[in-house]
Amino acid sequence: MIDVTVANFQAEVIEASSQIPVLIDFWAPWCGPCKVIGPLLEKIEADYGGRFQLVKIDSDQEQQLGAAFGIRSIPTCILMVDGKPVDGFQGALPESKIKEFLDKHLPPALEAEPEPELAPEPEAGSPDALAMLRAAVENDPTNDATRFHYVKALLQVGALDDAKVAFAPVIAKTGLDRKLDALQRWMNAIDTVAAYDDITATLGKINADIAANKRDFAARYQLAQIHMVGQNWTAAMDELMDILMRDKTWDSDKARKTYIAILEIIEPPPVKVADGQIPPVDPVVATYRRRLSSVILS
């Protein structure tokens, strides 16, 4: 899910829809049905595994875009293909109807070419598991998913230098891939915290600054980064959520983007299930995704 404004509409909608269908969700913070359909659309986007890209446009803030599409009521969803609107619907439709709408226009899911299997998620500190992941990356250097798990595993055991070396071939893709962006933000946090002369004194000052001013977002973000370095992921997201509840777009969306990065890091790898069965959902990831959607759409 991407928030779109006039500034990034050309790149995220017009240009992007030449590569993959883009579904625009026109919504507003005061709209009750929008709060129902918003999380549902995000779930469907995940279910469809990259067959379309979901973007959201706040019709109150982006009236120029709403007028361009002739939006008269919300929620309204418009499907874009090759830079042009091809279909749309209004209102909070049920999941089955939304999928029926999408299936009329989206290319079918690939059945004959399943995604390559990832090497298993390693136990922290397991040399054998790290060696297995390293071999998988060497065997297929273009498999960014496997590389993500390898770099993540290195960071989990504190091998920052090795992680940076393994990450270097894909560093240019961080603006295009959420998982790679997540690794970059994690490494940035490690570098930032490592530069503190006295972490205990720094932590004391941060806590004092927050106690004196709940809206000291810079201090809260520092604290979130310290939690990231300690791999205290829920504590980090709690700090970022405090920022988002007070200022959703603080510092060019830094808090939201970092929150999403943490969700990418902590989400377990996919698990194979029998046909017809629903894959298990990590309860922590599901809870914090709902919290983010609730705040963003409020």
The set of catalytic residues is 31, 34
What does the alpha-carbon distance between residue 57 and residue 7 come to, in Å, rounded to a whole number?
12
Q: Is 82 exposed, middle or buried (0-12, 13-18, 19+ CB in 10 A)?
A: exposed
* Phi, psi of 56, rounded to the nearest 5 degrees: -120, 135
SS3 for 136? helix
Query: Quick check: 26 and 78 in contact, CB under 8 A?
Result: yes
Q: What is the DSSP letter of 86?
A: E
What does the alpha-carbon distance between residue 195 and residue 204 come to, in Å, rounded to a whole number?
16
Assess whether the previous peptide bond of 75 is cis (omega < 30° from 0): yes
* The residue type at 82: D
